[in-house]
């Protein structure tokens, strides 16, 4: 199947060059799009063993609708798009969606995946124009993989990563490790070695209170600084690497420059001050923060004849109300998000 990138309809700059800027002066340029709430894993820090009440199919945005919202958002200053889930590779025709979005004037078009289906999908995704990828992988040991994901699949994920290496147009290849106390400590050195053996950027992400079971506990958070200390104690010293202002990751390499490690510390070192992200759920709701309580409906207006300008107005209005920050470290003030991670996407 040859994937021909569809010519996009021109990105219509909204009048007066309006831009997505929130009430704190943050420019919103990163749109995360969940294309499904379904997943083939049941990760303990995300979803209950029995799964979730899946969204009704008729509420899920079509590729036409996703492409239209993205085109309008690009006209308002978005230049980074990330496709997420649930598990996005479960969405039939995902490479077609990538091919529809790839011609837009984007700095980055990326995907977050658990990698289980990557061996089959790496080539069509590369052909379609995918530019970057984040693969979630929390352990390099089979039994512990099952302990976390409640599924077997380590070999498939590693094979998917290997397959990705055959498509240098998708770079960098990032591996996201959700760090949890009394689990990740014994994985750290193996992942550090992997970052030197393979062209994978390993990023450790602190455990956030977004699990559907509501079992998150602060004591289970293994901080980036603690992991860094383990690497420097048991492996090699790390050298800081400059990162983009809105980057969520604190980047490091080793003295000889081989390998890259990142720390994403939303709990111990929040980065909300430079947040440039908004999220679109699979059922067409706009979330201005991972921890939003409220959402802005785009699906309804889209399906009831709203014009591009109407949709743009909703995006601008939503962003003008974007939350300043999460309140995980503010005791009673912290309210859990109105959706869990698998229903929002990374």
Nearest CB to ligand SF4, comparing residues 30 and 283: 30
Q: For residue 30, state whether it binds ligand SF4 (rule: CB under 6 A).
A: no
- Please name which of 126, 151, 123 lies closest in space to residue 139, comparing C-alpha atoms: 151
Cβ atoms within 10 Å of 143's Cβ, excluding its own: 9
- Closest approach, Cβ 212 to ligand SF4, in A, equals 18
Q: For residue 325, state whether it binds ligand SF4 (rule: CB under 6 A).
A: yes
Among 31, 238, 272, 280, binds ligand SF4 (CB under 6 A): 272
Among 203, 277, 299, 339, binds ligand SF4 (CB under 6 A): 277
Distance CA 239, CA 254 (A): 6
CB contact at 8 A, 276 and 246: yes
Q: For residue 336, state whether it binds ligand SF4 (rule: CB under 6 A).
A: no
CB contact at 8 A, 337 and 300: no
- Name 204's Cβ contacts closer than 8 Å, sequence gap at least 6: 177, 179, 184, 188, 191, 224, 227, 261, 262, 263, 264
Tokens linked to 235: 């492996």
- Closest approach, Cβ 226 to ligand SF4, in A, equals 21
Nearest CB to ligand SF4, comparing residues 100 and 326: 326
Among 275, 286, 298, 314, binds ligand SF4 (CB under 6 A): 275
Nearest CB to ligand SF4, comparing residues 299 and 326: 326
Residues 64-123 that bind ligand SF4 (CB under 6 A): none
Distance CA 119, CA 18 (A): 41
Which window, 138-146, 215-223, 272-280, 338-346, contacts ligand SF4 (CB under 6 A)? Answer: 272-280
- Closest approach, Cβ 176 to ligand SF4, in A, equals 15
3-state SS, residue 215: coil
Distance CA 189, CA 232 (A): 10
- Closest approach, Cβ 202 to ligand SF4, in A, equals 21
Q: For residue 323, state whether it binds ligand SF4 (rule: CB under 6 A).
A: yes
Cβ atoms within 10 Å of 7's Cβ, excluding its own: 7
Give first-to-last CA distance, the chain, whole Å. Answer: 30
Nearest CB to ligand SF4, comparing residues 82 and 100: 82
Distance CA 76, CA 21 (A): 9
- Closest approach, Cβ 341 to ligand SF4, in A, equals 12
Q: What are 82's strand-pairing partners?
A: 32, 110
Among 91, 100, 326, 339, binds ligand SF4 (CB under 6 A): 326
- Closest approach, Cβ 223 to ligand SF4, in A, equals 16
Tokens linked to 217: 């506990």
Q: For residue 246, state whether it binds ligand SF4 (rule: CB under 6 A).
A: no
Residues 282-301 that bind ligand SF4 (CB under 6 A): 289-291
Buried b / exposed e over 67-99, threshold 16 CB at 10 Å, is: bbbbbbbbbbbbbbbbbbbbbbbbbeebbbbbb
- Closest approach, Cβ 273 to ligand SF4, in A, equals 8
- Closest approach, Cβ 14 to ligand SF4, in A, equals 24
CB contact at 8 A, 16 and 110: no
For ligand SF4, how many residues bind (rule: CB under 6 A)?
10
Q: x/- site string to ligand SF4, residues 181 to 200, per CB under 6 A?
A: --------------------
- Closest approach, Cβ 283 to ligand SF4, in A, equals 19
Q: Which residues bind ligand SF4 (CB under 6 A)?
A: 271-272, 275, 277, 289-291, 323, 325-326
């Amino acid at each position: 199947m040859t994937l021909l990138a569809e010519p996009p309809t021109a990105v219509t700059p909204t009048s007066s060059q309006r831009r997505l800027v929130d009430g704190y002066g943050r420019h919103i340029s990163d749109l995360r799009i969940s294309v499904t709430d379904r997943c083939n894993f049941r990760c303990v820090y995300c979803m209950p063993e029995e799964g979730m009440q899946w969204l009704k199919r008729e509420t899920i945005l079509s590729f036409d609708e996703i492409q239209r919202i993205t085109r309008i958002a690009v006209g308002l200053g978005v230049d980074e798009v990330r496709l997420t889930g649930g598990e996005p590779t479960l969405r039939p025709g995902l490479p077609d969606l990538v091919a529809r979005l790839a011609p837009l004037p984007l700095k980055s078009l990326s995907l977050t995946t658990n990698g289980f289906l990557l061996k089959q999908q790496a080539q069509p995704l590369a052909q379609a124009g995918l530019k970057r990828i984040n693969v979630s992988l929390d352990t390099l040991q089979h039994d512990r993989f099952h302990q976390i994901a409640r599924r077997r699949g380590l070999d498939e994920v590693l094979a998917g990563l290997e397959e990705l290496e055959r498509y240098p147009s998708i770079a960098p290849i990032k591996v996201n490790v959700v760090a949890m106390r009394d689990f990740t400590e014994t994985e750290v050195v193996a992942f550090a070695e992997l970052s030197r053996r393979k062209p994978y950027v390993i990023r450790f992400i602190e455990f956030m209170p977004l699990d559907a079971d509501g079992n998150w506990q602060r004591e289970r958070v293994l901080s980036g600084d603690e992991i860094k200390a383990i690497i420097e104690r048991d492996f090699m010293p790390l050298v800081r690497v400059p990162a983009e202002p809105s980057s969520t990751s604190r980047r490091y390499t080793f003295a000889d420059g081989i390998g890259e490690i990142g720390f994403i510390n939303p709990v111990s070192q929040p980065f909300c001050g430079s947040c440039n992200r908004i999220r679109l759920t699979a059922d067409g709701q706009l979330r201005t923060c991972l921890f939003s309580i409220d959402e802005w409906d785009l699906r309804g207006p889209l399906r009831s004849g709203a014009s591009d300008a109407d949709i743009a107005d909703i995006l601008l209005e939503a962003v003008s109300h974007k939350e300043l920050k999460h309140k995980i470290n503010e005791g009673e003030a912290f309210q859990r998000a109105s959706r869990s991670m698998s229903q929002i996407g990374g």
